[in-house]
Chain A
Amino acid sequence: MKKKALKELLLQGNEAVVEGALRAGCRFFAGYPITPATEISEQLSVRLPQVDGTFIQMEDEIASLGAVIGASLAGVKSMTATSGPGFSLMQENLGFAIIAEVPCVIVNAMRGGPSTGLPTSPAQSDVMQARWGTHGDHPIIVLCPSTVRECFDLTIKAFNYSEKYRIPVILLIDEVVAHMREKITIADDETIDIVNRVKPTVPPEWYIPFEDTPRGVPPMADFGEGYRYHVTGLTHDVRGFPTSRPDEVDAFIRRLFRKVSQNFADFQIGEHYHIDDAEVAIIAYGCVARSARRAVADCRDKGIKAGMLKLNTIWPFMRTDVEKVLRQAKVVIVPEMNMGQISREVKRVNKGSAKIFTINRVDGTIITPQEIMGRIKEVF
């Protein structure tokens, strides 16, 4: 009994994020208290010092992400966690992490907005903010779990992508998943792939810190290891020095995009549930994907050919998978706890073959399976 209890844990989504982060090698956390993300701070304040890591509670979310970027530049895997209002404050330094290509992970436990909104109620309304919240053209990677297990797995993935591509990765959790407890099994001997940033192997005088490589990702030197280089939020040349030469600016911005776009296939995490022969397809993510799964099962019991594409990768948008669904299904339903953010993307990639319907809920409660069933009956 005791041995079993050790392996099987009843964890909250937020707690599973903590477990995932520690497994991934995260050793620095800076944050500011905010519902519904505080459990991540609280647990890491206990766990990080035990593994010689560092936890610090900063004066605000701007400072939190600043400290996270600083720690990452010094060579330590770092993260922060927040919710909508704090995520708004982080947009400034999020842009810095993108332009300076500093790996870090930002958890946004989504609650209702705008502004202070609904502090203790769920929403999925930060999908577009995660994509375009910071100013300027930029790529971004955003992952979204819908189970406690996925909170664990996707946190590790988030760190791995972040290190591999030198880009901040955002984990969008909705309040339901953040606070939901489920049983998960974390075996001690579980083999989990951990990716670490590639460091320069050339002597310091040969090091060109932002040079283009076939992968589009330059090797990253930690501060204090002999590679004295310049990191700036200004648009910079391959040596890291500010530039406004159009040819250098263009090459730099395009490389930022290319390092994500040319590895597009690496970011496609999703789940196909009865989708292959589905006539009515639901495209869902986060907690709503659970309601959709239930609706699909109920439909199948009634003989309706329903299916679901669950998006775990929100950005870059899973265009290939979505297009396949759009080609095949007669009707596509996109239920979201916002006024229509992912549905805009689905409509964008639709070339006119499928009818797209939305379910939008903005009252701080989860979309139920019955609502999805009801919509299916209406439109199919």
Chain B
Amino acid sequence: MIEVTKLIHNYLRHDKKFPHVWCPGCGIGIMLGALIRAIDHRGYQKDEIVLVSGIGCTGRLPVYVDFNTLHTTHGRALTFATGIKLAKPRLKVIVVMGDGDAVAIGGNHFIHAARRNIDLTAIILNNSVYGMTGGQYSPTTPYGMKTATSVYSNVEHSFSISELAVTAGAVFVGRGTVYHAKLLESLMEKAFQKVGFSVVETISHCHTQFGRMNRMGGAVEMMQWQRDHAVTVEKAAQMTEEELKDKFKIGVLIDRNLPPYQDEYDKIRRWSKGVERK
């Protein structure tokens, strides 16, 4: 308890902008807790951290924490973060986004930031729905689910944020859930330690919108659903495709080393000044 109080005092803008906008039982708070513990554990200075977000429930996260914080336009957080990182590489830039933010309106920026291997950590809270605007379907809403704009049924197919990130070139991709908060924290820590574009997808729930419309219960029931449908990468390796049909993998999906953009660009700077290429 004392530890938690210390973290709250140290990292939250507790005297300024509370209470927050999130619904009671929302997973974003759990993700924020994991994020702060991971940052604290790594021992970063608050001054060297820039927390960037887009629009939506998750986009509101930075305002509550005592870092350099930037709340950008919808879907564009990674572009702003790219500019910050390249202009001042010593800063630790962390980007938090929702699923609609990261892979609908910001999908193009997402794959290109991964492809360039910009040294950022992208933390994406995936609750399968646009929560703030009232529960409309997003690119991660599963087929057949009901939302405010798919009251008959969602006839679009969802895609997987983590697999997309792997394909696009991210050096580290981890997936956790807000139920598995400790795993989430450790994935974030691993992501922070990587040099290059790292992604932590956080499976969360929106009981207020998505849960209500699909009769999935409250926050507790939806977190139980996460518990029952998540399979660790290690365990999944032992399972058949049939057994994995309605499951999703959690853990480290990829961990590889590639030179980050800023190192590549340093080469350009040297070559531009006439330094011989090796």
Residues of A at the B interface (CB closer than 8 Å) are 27-28, 30, 46, 49-50, 52, 54, 56, 58-60, 62-76, 78, 92-93, 95-96, 222-226, 228-234, 239, 241-242
CB within 8 Å for A56 and B91 given contacts A223-B68, A229-B68: no
Q: Report whether A224 and B47 are in contact in the complex, using a CB–CB cutoff of 8 Å.
A: yes
Is the beta-carbon distance between B72 and A67 smaller than 8 angstroms?
no
Binds A, one of B2-10, B122-130, B265-273: B265-273
Q: Is the CB of B73 within 8 A of A66?
A: yes
User: Within the complex, what minimum Cβ distance (angstroms) separates A129 from chain B?
Assistant: 18
Contact of B88 among A64, A66, A75 (CB under 8 A): A75
| A71 and B16 contact, CB distance less than 8 A | no
On whether the beta carbons of B109 and A59 are closer than 8 Å, the reply is yes
Give chain B residues whose Cβ lies under 8 Å from the Cβ of A69.
72, 80, 83
Residue on A nearest B21 in the bound complex, by CB: A242
User: Would you list the 7 A-B pairs with minimal beta carbon distance, nearest first?
Assistant: A70-B83, A66-B79, A67-B83, A71-B87, A71-B83, A49-B272, A70-B80
Complex contacts, B273 vs chain A, CB 8 Å: 49-50
Which B132-152 residues sit within 8 Å CB-CB of chain A?
A: none
In whole angstroms, how far apart are the Cα atoms of A52 and B268 in the complex? Answer: 10
Judging by beta carbons under 8 Å apart, are B68 and A58 in contact? no
Scan residues 32-86 of chain B and give those whose CB is less than 8 A from a CB of chain A: 46-48, 50, 52, 62-63, 66-73, 76, 78-86
Contacts known (A66-B73, A93-B73, A234-B71); A224 close to B86, Cβ less than 8 A: no
**Residue on A nearest B67 in the bound complex, by CB:** A228
Q: Which residues on the B side are within 8 Å of A68 (C-beta)? A: 83
CB of B72 within 8 A of CB of A96, answer yes
Question: B88 to A74, Cβ gap below 8 A?
Answer: yes
Contact of A76 among B48, B52, B72, B87 (CB under 8 A): B87
Q: Is the CB of A224 within 8 A of B71?
A: no
Q: In whole angstroms, how far apart are the Cα atoms of A232 and B17 in the complex?
A: 14
Complex: A27 Cα to B271 Cα, angstroms: 17
Q: A50-B273, A52-B269, A73-B70 are in contact. Are A241 and B83 (CB under 8 A)?
A: no
Partner of A223 from B17, B62, B91, B265 at Cβ < 8 Å: B91
25 interchain pairs (CB within 8 A)?
A49-B272, A52-B269, A54-B87, A59-B109, A62-B79, A63-B76, A63-B109, A66-B76, A66-B78, A70-B84, A71-B83, A73-B70, A73-B84, A75-B88, A78-B87, A222-B88, A223-B84, A223-B88, A224-B47, A224-B90, A228-B46, A228-B68, A228-B69, A230-B62, A231-B71
Which residues of B are interface residues toward A (Cβ below 8 A)?
A: 13, 16-17, 46-48, 50, 52, 62-63, 66-73, 76, 78-88, 90-91, 108-109, 112, 265, 268-269, 271-273
- Which residue from B63, B66, B83 sits with its C-beta under 8 Å from A232? B63
Contacts of A54 in B (CB 8 A): 86-87, 265
A47 to B275 Cα, complex, angstroms? 15
Contact among B50, B63, B66, B76 with A62 in the assembled complex (CB-CB below 8 Å): B76
Do B272 and A46 have beta carbons less than 8 Å apart? yes
Given contacts A226-B47, A228-B67, A241-B16, 20 further A-B contacts (CB under 8 A): A46-B272, A49-B271, A63-B82, A63-B112, A66-B73, A68-B83, A70-B52, A70-B79, A70-B80, A73-B80, A74-B87, A74-B88, A92-B76, A93-B73, A224-B88, A228-B46, A229-B68, A230-B71, A231-B71, A233-B73
